[in-house]
Chains A and B, each alone.
Chain A
Amino acid sequence: MQWMTIFKKEMLEYWRNFKWIWVPLVFILIAIMDPITTYYLPKILDTVGGLPDGAVFEMPETPPVAALMMSLTELSMFGVLVIVLTSMGLIAGERKSGVAELVLVKPVGYFTYITSKWGATLLLVWVSLIIGLLTSWYYVNLLFGDISFAALLQVIFFYGLWLTLVVSITTFVNTLFRTPGVVGFVSIAILIVMSIFNQIFSNKVTWFPNNLSSHIGDMLDSGTISGDLWGTTFIIILLIISLLFASLLTFRGKEMAN
C-alpha cells in the first residue's frame, strides 16, 4: 500500500536524523522541568544561599493536579515550538529540494502524500507526549501526591488532540509556502494569534481550542469530563479534518500550477 510506503520512508528518515531519539528526550525534559524545580525551589534557595539569616520563606503547597498541569503549560509553550520547528520542512522542504516531484511523478495521490506525512509526524509527537507525560506523572506521584493512572490516560488523550491540531496547522501551512523558515514563522504566528484571541474571549467562546488545557485541569479537579471539554474536543476534531482537506486543495492547486 502506497500510504504505508511513504509512512515507512518517513519513519526511516526520522531514525536517520535522530528525531526518534531527541524529540522524546526533549519532551521528557520539558515535562519534568517545572514540577521538579517547583518542588525543590526552597531547597535550591537554601543551597545557593543569598537569603539573610533567619529569613523564613513559606512556600504555598502545590497540589498534585497543579503540578501535572505545569507540565501541560510548558508543553504548550516549548513542546509546541519543538513540533513546529521539526515539522516546518515536512512538505515544504521536499518541494524545495525536488523530492516531492520525484515522489509525485509516481502514481501517488496528493491525499496519500499529505496524510502519510501527517500521520508519521503524529506518531512521533504522540509517542513523545506519552513518554514525557508518563515521566512527569511519575515525578508528580513521587513528589506531590497521587494522581490515578486513569486520569493520566485521559490527560494524554485530550491533550494529544491539541498537539494533533498543531501538527495539522503546520501541515496546512506547509502546503502554502515553499520555504521551511516561512512555514515555521507563519505557523507560530497563527498559534500566537489563537492564544491572544483566547485570552480576550475565553469566557465567551468556551469551546475555543486553546481552552482545552483549562478544561483538562477542571477534569482533573472534579474527576468528571465536562460538556465544555467534549465541546472543545469536537471543535478540535472538526478543525483537524477541515485543515487536512484544505491542505489537499491548496497542495493540489499549487502542484497543478507548476
Chain B
Amino acid sequence: MEIVELLPILAPIIIIEAILAIVALVAWFKTDETNGPKWMWLLLIIFIGVIGPILFFIIGRRQQ
C-alpha cells in the first residue's frame, strides 16, 4: 500500500484545505485590524491546517 494510492481520495480534502487557506489569506490581507498581532494570524493560517483559517474567520477579524 503506497501513499500514492490514497491520493485520489485525499485530493479533495487537500484541495478544500488549500481553498480555505487561500481565502483566509485574502481576508487577512484585506483586514486592517485583527484581534492580536496581525503577523501571528498569518503564521496560524499558513501553518495550522483547517483550524487556523477557521479561527481567523471566526475570531481573528475585528468588526468594523
Chains A and B are bound partners? yes
**Contact partners of B20 in chain A: CB under 8 A:** 22, 25-26
Q: Do A18 and B57 touch across chains, with their CB atoms under 8 A apart?
A: yes
Asked if A46 CB lies within 8 Å of chain B CBs, one says: yes
**Chain A binding surface SS class:** helix
> Given that A47-B2, A97-B63 are contacting pairs, would A22 and B13 also be in contact in the complex, using a CB cutoff of 8 Å?
no
Majority SS at the chain B contact face: helix
| Contact partners of B17 in chain A: CB under 8 A | 29
B58 touches A43 (CB 8 A): no
| A-chain residues with CB within 8 Å of residue B53 when the two chains form the complex | 22
Measured between beta carbons, the chain A residues less than 8 angstroms from B50 are 26, 29
Which of A66-74, A85-93, A223-231, A250-258 touches B?
A85-93
Report A235 CB to chain B, min CB distance, Å.
Answer: 30
User: Does B16 count as interface, using CB distance less than 8 angstroms?
Assistant: yes
A18 touches B2 (CB 8 A): no
Docked Cα-Cα span, A93 to B63, in Å, equals 8
Q: Judging by beta carbons under 8 Å apart, are B6 and A29 in contact?
A: no
Chain B 5-45 residues near chain A, CB threshold 8 A: 5-6, 9, 12-13, 16-17, 19-20, 23-24, 26-27
- The answer to whether B16 touches A29 (Cβ under 8 A) is yes
- Note all chain B residues with C-beta closer than 8 A to A18: 23, 26-27, 57
Total interface residues on B, using CB and 8 Å? 24
* A22 lies within 8 A of B23 (CB): yes
Distance to closest chain A CB from B58 (angstroms): 5
Instruction: For the complex, give the distance between the alpha carbons of A19 and B13 in Å.
Output: 19
Chain A residues with CB under 8 A of B27: 17-18
Query: Knowing A29-B16, A46-B1 touch, does A22 contact B63 (C-beta < 8 A)?
Result: no
A43 to B23 CA separation, bound complex (whole angstroms)? 32
Q: Total A-B pairs in contact (CB under 8 Å)?
A: 52
Known: A21-B23, A28-B16, A97-B63. A86 touches B6 (CB 8 A): no
Using known A-B contacts A22-B20, A29-B50, determine if residue A43 contacts B1 with beta carbons closer than 8 Å. yes
Q: Which residues of B contact A47 (CB under 8 A)?
A: 1-3, 6
**CB distance A25 to B19 under 8 Å?**
yes
B54 at the interface (CB under 8 A from A): yes
Binary interface encoding of chain B residues 52-63 relative to chain A, with 1 for a CB under 8 A from any of its CBs, else 0: 011001100101
- Tell me whether A129 is interfacial, beta carbon within 8 Å: no
Q: Which residue of A lies closest to B50 (CB)?
A: A29
Residues in chain A near residue B63, CB distance under 8 A:
89, 93, 97
Contacts A21-B19, A25-B16, A47-B2 known; list 10 others, CB within 8 Å.
Answer: A22-B20, A22-B23, A22-B53, A26-B54, A28-B16, A29-B17, A32-B13, A33-B13, A43-B1, A43-B5
**Can you spell out 27 A-B residue pairs with CB atoms less than 8 angstroms apart?**
A17-B27, A17-B61, A18-B23, A18-B57, A22-B20, A22-B24, A22-B54, A22-B57, A25-B16, A25-B19, A26-B20, A26-B50, A26-B54, A29-B16, A29-B17, A29-B50, A32-B12, A32-B13, A36-B9, A43-B1, A43-B6, A47-B3, A47-B6, A82-B54, A85-B58, A93-B63, A97-B64
